[in-house]
């Protein structure tokens, strides 16, 4: 039993170290990106969102050059030619990797030889917003809110004679977790899940957005694990529930699972 436990723990640790080694960004680079963009505030972000809705209408996906053109135009309109995303090459690194994944799925080969063609591939706006949020100067509560709002559409708001409610589908939330995962915004250890192979010892793999959302909503690990954080294990998710999901140990966006504070207004700044 002791040998099995040791081998299992070593397997988990090896996977964690591998994830850290191949990460596109390290935590210090993310800190540098945010510190360098002190003027990229929530107010600027909301103007960009407003303009993207006007520019792209009902489109869910756009090319990276199309998205960048809106971002650059809005920033220049607000504060002049010199106002741009500092350390933008770090954001580009994330997007290029995603374009490579998309290109491989389409059988387009090595992006290094077909950059122009790959840049014409459309990416979900939610992914582009999640990646851009790496540079956002805000509280965590505001970052959670703007990411949540980026997933909303007109059909996500339902109204009756008595009240109006807003919620995002569980599928969109799982997709956003994948975007945060692919943009290095989730703690590596939180993404490690057990496989079905327990003999001769427990093995592990990197979970996807669906896995992480399921564990956060349903709970995992029995008495020694964590309880679910949403009212329902499936279906729509409110803003408060989305924030709770991001703070769970199975998601741990921006290291928030290590912050011992409660409530939307008392979360740490990062």
Q: Which residues pair with 23 in a beta bridge?
A: none
Start-to-end CA distance of the chain, whole Å, equals: 42
154 band by pLDDT with thresholds 50, 70 and 90: low
13's CB contacts (< 8 A; 6+ apart) are none
Is residue 232 within 8 Å of 216, Cβ to Cβ? no
Report how far residue 21's alpha carbon sits from residue 27's, in angstroms, rounded to the nearest whole number: 12
Is residue 56 within 8 Å of 68, Cβ to Cβ? no
Provide, rounded to the nearest whole percent, the portion of the chain with pLDDT above 90.
69
Report how far residue 254's alpha carbon sits from residue 186's, in angstroms, rounded to the nearest whole number: 6
207 band by pLDDT with thresholds 50, 70 and 90: very high
The reported pLDDT for the residue numbered 104 is 82
Distances (CA, A) of 158 to 36, 146, 172, 231: 40, 20, 17, 19
The reported pLDDT for the residue numbered 200 is 77
pLDDT exceeds cutoff 80 at 222: no
- In the chain, domain spans: 2-258
């Amino acid at each position: 039993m002791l040998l099995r436990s040791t081998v299992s723990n070593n397997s988990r640790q090896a996977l964690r170290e591998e994830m850290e080694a191949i990460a596109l960004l390290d935590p210090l680079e993310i800190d540098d990106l945010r510190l360098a963009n002190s003027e990229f505030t929530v107010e600027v972000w909301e103007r960009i969102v407003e303009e993207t809705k006007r520019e792209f209408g009902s489109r869910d996906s756009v090319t990276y050059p199309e998205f960048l053109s809106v971002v650059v135009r809005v920033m220049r309109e607000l504060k002049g030619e010199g106002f741009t995303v500092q350390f933008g090459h770090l954001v580009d690194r994330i997007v290029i990797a995603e374009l490579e994944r998309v290109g491989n799925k389409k059988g387009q080969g090595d992006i290094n030889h077909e950059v122009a063609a790959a840049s014409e591939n459309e990416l979900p706006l939610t992914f582009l917003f999640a990646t851009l949020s790496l540079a956002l100067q805000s509280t965590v509560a505001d970052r959670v809110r703007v990411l949540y709002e980026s997933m909303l559409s007109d059909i996500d708001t339902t109204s009756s004679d008595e009240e109006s409610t807003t919620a995002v589908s569980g599928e969109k939330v799982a997709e956003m977790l994948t975007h945060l995962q692919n943009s290095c915004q989730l703690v590596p250890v939180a993404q490690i899940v057990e496989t079905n192979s327990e003999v001769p010892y427990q093995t592990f793999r990197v979970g996807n957005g669906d896995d992480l959302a399921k564990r956060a909503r349903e709970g995992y690990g029995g008495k020694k694990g964590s309880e679910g954080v949403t009212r329902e294990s499936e279906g729509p998710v409110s803003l408060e529930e989305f924030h709770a999901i991001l703070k769970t140990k199975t998601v741990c966006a921006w290291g928030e699972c290590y912050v011992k504070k409660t409530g939307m207004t008392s979360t740490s700044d990062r």
